[in-house]
Amino acid sequence: MIVRLIYLLLFFLGENVSNLLGIELQNILYFFVVFGILAIVLNYSLFNLFINRKDEYYIILVIIVLFSFRFFSGILSDSVRSILVLFVTPILFLLVPQNIDGVKTYNFKKFLMSLLFWFFVIECAIAVFEFFIKDHVFLWVNTTFDQISNSDGAFRSNSIHGAPLTNALLVTIVNSFIVISNLKSKYKLFLWSLGFIAVLTFNARIAILLNSFILIFYFGRIFFSTKYSVNRKMIISIGVFIISLIFLYLISSTNIGSRLFDRELFDQSSGEQRLAIFDIFDYYSIYSFFYGISMMEFNYIKDSFGLLIIENFWINILVLFGLVFLISLIFFYTRLVRRYLIFYSFKDSLIIVSVFLIITSINNSLFTQFFPLLLYLVCLDLFRPIIFNRIVNKRWLS
């Protein structure tokens, strides 16, 4: 029960909801760390978990070493929250059983899949509702980002989880898995369309392009597949054509997705800011950040280059926590992800990895929130054909 409650809160107690309730994000992080560890101790054998889930343990160990190093070096101050963001993900992912080995694990994975779909629908529905009433249901109070993202006056939905870009990231992650899944085509197209219109309301340009690419990939795979009859391909083609016409009408008749269509992809307020961060390395060697720096130095570097935020997860980690930690994190997360990718085809793996890496590299969501990475890992687990085809109702499957 405690594990289900934790995941229910994970999906729906987003930053914007917690702001409305007056709950500090750092308190939420402490809550998930404490109750996550408690749930692991009460529900699992620590020895068996270590034998079967070494990668998660190694990630936790690397983060503990980082915390200890910064503490004894006197540079831990003000970076505790950033470390907690990294720490929560592997702990909470350990709560998800790797395989179905009984009724308990089957029911939990079925519950988690239902929770995931309901989250996706509610997240997208709130975004669309916000756009059409031109107001936010859950106010996001981080005005630093607003100075950049809303400088052109275009309305952007916030939905549940913080910034528009973070929500666009979440929806795009789920959309990429939906398209490669074994769902019937009509359900795929409906869910993709719901996700795409939500991304348009978030006004996130790269996410709009990536979701368009996801649909093109899906259509191409159907068109060149021998699995589908000519009549089926024709019906799907007509469906994709109608959906495209609907979105073209919405785009032309409203200002939805206007930041992509009314402005250059790399404008001064946003796109050029993402490129400007690389100017740091014109003045600092990458080895200057070998073991990381203090938060005070981190903020000084940002201010020196006129950056309100560094919209790149990898550079945030490199500069603040150091090259050694970044390499260690990449190494063990690569091992963890590969453990699940072996269940996907090469083409499907290419899509879900490429989409994730591209969209996480153009904003700092993974640096400020743990949920996007955790959602990606949960999707990797649940959408494995060997799992997905067992826990999803057969009438939904093709």
* Dmax (CA) of the chain: 68
- Predicted confidence at residue 143, as pLDDT, reads 45
pLDDT tens-digit readout, 27-62: 888 999 999 999 998 888 877 888 889 999 999 999
Mean pLDDT of the chain: 85
Higher pLDDT, 1 or 380: 380
Length of the chain, please? 398
Residue 81, judged by CB atoms within 10 A of its CB (0-12, 13-18, 19+), counts as middle
pLDDT band of residue 398 (cuts 50, 70, 90) is: confident
- What are the residues whose beta carbons fall under 8 Å from the beta carbon of 66, sequence distance 6 or more? 83, 292, 321, 325
pLDDT tens-digit readout, 220-230: 777 776 666 77
- What are the residues whose beta carbons fall under 8 Å from the beta carbon of 340, sequence distance 6 or more? 377, 380, 381, 384
**CA pair distance 122, 128, nearest whole angstrom:** 10
The residue written with tokens 């988690």 in the block is 112
The residue-averaged pLDDT of 149-156 equals 61
**CA pair distance 61, 87, nearest whole angstrom:** 10
pLDDT band of residue 261 (cuts 50, 70, 90) is: low
**CA pair distance 125, 267, nearest whole angstrom:** 29
Q: Hey, is 183 helix, strand or coil?
A: strand
First to last CA, the chain: 32
Residue 128, judged by CB atoms within 10 A of its CB (0-12, 13-18, 19+), counts as middle
The one-character DSSP state at 225 is -
**CA pair distance 194, 188, nearest whole angstrom:** 10
